[in-house]
Amino acid sequence: MTAFDIHPSNFRHWNIQIVGEVATFQLEVDPRAPAIGDYELKLNSYDIGVDIELANAIRHIRFQNPEVKCVVITSALEGTFCAGANIRMLAEADHSHKVNFCKFTNETRLEIEEASQHSGIKFLAAINGACSGGGYELALACDHIILVDDRSTAVSLPEVPLLGVLPGTGGLTRLTDKRHIRRDRADVFATKAEGAVGREALDWGLVDELAAPTNFVEAVAARAHALASTSRRLDGGPVSLSPLEISISDDSITYRWVNLTIFDRYAELRVLVNSSSDWLLQTARELDDVLCRLRFDFPRIGTLILRTEGKIDDVLRSDTELQSPNKHAQLETLLLWKRCLSRLEMTSKTLVAAIDPGSCFVGILLELALAADRTYMLDGQFEEEDNPLLPAVIQLTATNFGAVPMCNGLSRVESRLWGDEAGLSAAADLVDRELGASKAAQLGLVTATPDDLDWDDELRLFIEERSSFSPDALTAMEANHRFCGPETMATKIFARLSAWQNWIFTRPNASGPKGALQRYGSGSRPDFDNQRT
């Protein structure tokens, strides 16, 4: 299975150095350490293993190093910054891995931008060598790009002319929406395999600053400290991120507070609630880890049933920490929950919440149900039990009204009740009140409220029906429904990403035996079918 929780001391591809308020992430990819196959990671090209390390480096800086106010991303290889995603990996990987690889790298780039906006950590891309494809997309996620001005080092997005695909990590969108490159210049740049160097790159807005090779190190240091001076990181001590405790079998993945049970075509994800002081942070880390594993290691699982178990009061005590975070640890925990919930919504699986007696879908855990495509809530009790639990309830808190917004900027309550201002106002009036099945249904917060006689059959029939549909159609339908309302750069990136990857990556022009990915580096040009569809 793919490992997503990696401590910096075990990194193979990144060197992390911290001096005062500046951290340096130096990319030095081990060419002999591919993650999924037999290919060489030349020229600082990357695969999922390289990016998992980057994601962990960012997370550790966010939690364990509150003194860091600027992160410099650069290369340890002379003349090479990053060649982007490894082409041999893309050519050999199955379609599922291609898509999930690009999705994960997108989420990491978005986390860089979120850390800058909300955590006060500024990011500086110090491009000290050739920078193409995903390497330049990594730089685009940073706050500032400084390019060595040696008359030969270029930035480029060569995917269209060389590979028959598109930049897979938001490059096209960031050119126009973030850096405001004119669309005609963006067209020129994205079809010019050699990219742009020096003055042209600066004049077009592709980079922010040039520095001569002789004073490049000094220029980077000066810019890093200037960026750090603009930071508003919250004070607080370091938060330790101990290795996750994971037990894996053929049909389950078990953590301290999160359990995943695998069935034939569906899985159940259960969150256990505890009064432990580290429950809130640890649960977010475990949820994030298991969602990544579901994507990469269980592509045939189509439906995910979300369950919770524990005392409502324990959730509410933790939930209050998320509502007005004024300390470093509280803010970073809140932002981790935000990213975790977003990763859930970006997961190409049907999400269904099952709310029954003993559940604790309140506050931050209610976000799981609000993220679901359907929500079932038992009306009443399981009467045949010897000691039936009290009927299930849900409870809205202030956390549900904007503390952990979706990538479109809406709260999940707003998204669920989009266009229903009266319904949204009615829900807001009932914050901090327990809501039974009938009231939850009246407010539009749940989909169906079967009684105990129909409960098991309703869920079984739903899973059977879902399994009979085309998974491709379901993925597209769910993505359309989950993100109503306004567009943001993140929604554009993911919507367009899903569309082009699930089309272009399976087209013969890209992935066929005579396609660009297969023939890249072979000396033979791809054989394109020029029919436009």
> How far, in Å, are 175, 187, 192, 265 from residue 184 at the CA level?
11, 5, 12, 46
pLDDT at res. 531: 87
What pLDDT, in 10s, does the model give residues 320-356?
999 989 899 999 999 999 999 999 999 999 999 999 9
Q: Is the pLDDT of residue 492 over 80?
A: yes
What does the DSSP 8-state code read for residue 448? B
**Cβ atoms of 151 and 192 closer than 8 Å:** no
What does the DSSP 8-state code read for residue 116? I
Mean pLDDT computed over every residue of the chain: 95
pLDDT at res. 249: 94
pLDDT at res. 510: 87
Residue whose tokens read 């929950």: 337
pLDDT at res. 493: 86
Q: Is the pLDDT of residue 1 over 90?
A: no
Mean pLDDT of 257-261: 98
Whole-number Å distance between alpha carbons of 490 and 294: 22
pLDDT band at 272 (very low <50, low <70, confident <90, very high): very high
pTM metric for this prediction: 0.95
pLDDT at res. 203: 98
Long-range CB contact pairs, 424-428, < 8 A, 24+ = 427/396, 428/396, 428/401
pLDDT at res. 523: 86
pLDDT at res. 6: 96
Mean pLDDT of 401-430: 96
pLDDT at res. 140: 98
What pLDDT, in 10s, does the model give residues 4-26?
999 999 999 999 999 999 999 99
Task: Determine how many CB atoms are found less than 10 A away from the CB of residue 1.
Answer: 10
pLDDT at res. 375: 98
Helices (H), ranges, 183-299: 183-190, 198-203, 216-228, 279-297
Q: Is the pLDDT of residue 141 over 80?
A: yes
CA 351 and chain centroid, separation: 17
Q: What is the CATH code of the structural domain delimited by 8-228? A: 3.90.226.10
Q: Is the pLDDT of residue 485 over 80?
A: yes
Mean pLDDT of 25-43: 96
Strand partners for 404: none
Q: Is the pLDDT of residue 533 over 80?
A: no
pLDDT band at 113 (very low <50, low <70, confident <90, very high): very high
Whole-number Å distance between alpha carbons of 116 and 68: 12
pLDDT at res. 73: 98
- CA torsion sign for 28, 32, 37, 42 is positive
Closest CA to 484 of 493, 495, 473: 495
Whole-number Å distance between alpha carbons of 485 and 339: 19
Q: Is the pLDDT of residue 435 over 80?
A: yes
For the ranges 260-269, 371-380, 409-418, 505-514, the lowest mean pLDDT is seen at: 505-514
Whole-number Å distance between alpha carbons of 61 and 72: 12
**Cβ atoms of 407 and 483 closer than 8 Å:** yes
Whole-number Å distance between alpha carbons of 245 and 485: 39
What does the DSSP 8-state code read for residue 362? B
Which amino acid makes up residue 140? L
Whole-number Å distance between alpha carbons of 146 and 81: 12
pLDDT band at 208 (very low <50, low <70, confident <90, very high): very high
Closest CA to 400 of 359, 433, 356: 433
Q: Is the pLDDT of residue 502 over 80?
A: no
pLDDT band at 498 (very low <50, low <70, confident <90, very high): confident
For the ranges 116-130, 283-297, 473-487, the lowest mean pLDDT is seen at: 473-487
pLDDT at res. 198: 96
CATH 3.90.226.10 domain position(s) in the chain: 8-228, 247-482
Closest CA to 504 of 519, 492, 517, 514: 517
Mean pLDDT of 177-184: 96
**Cβ atoms of 201 and 154 closer than 8 Å:** yes
Q: Is the pLDDT of residue 364 over 80?
A: yes
CATH architecture, domain defined by 247-482: Alpha-Beta Complex (3.90)
What pLDDT, in 10s, does the model give residues 72-110?
999 999 999 999 999 999 888 998 999 999 999 999 999
pLDDT at res. 188: 97
Instruction: Give SS3 for 139.
Output: helix
Higher-pLDDT residue of 386, 96: 96
Q: Is the pLDDT of residue 442 over 80?
A: yes
pLDDT band at 495 (very low <50, low <70, confident <90, very high): confident
Which amino acid makes up residue 472? D
Q: Is the pLDDT of residue 130 over 80?
A: yes
pLDDT at res. 520: 87
> How far, in Å, are 259, 260, 340 from residue 269 at the CA level?
6, 5, 14
- CA torsion sign for 45, 51, 56, 62 is positive
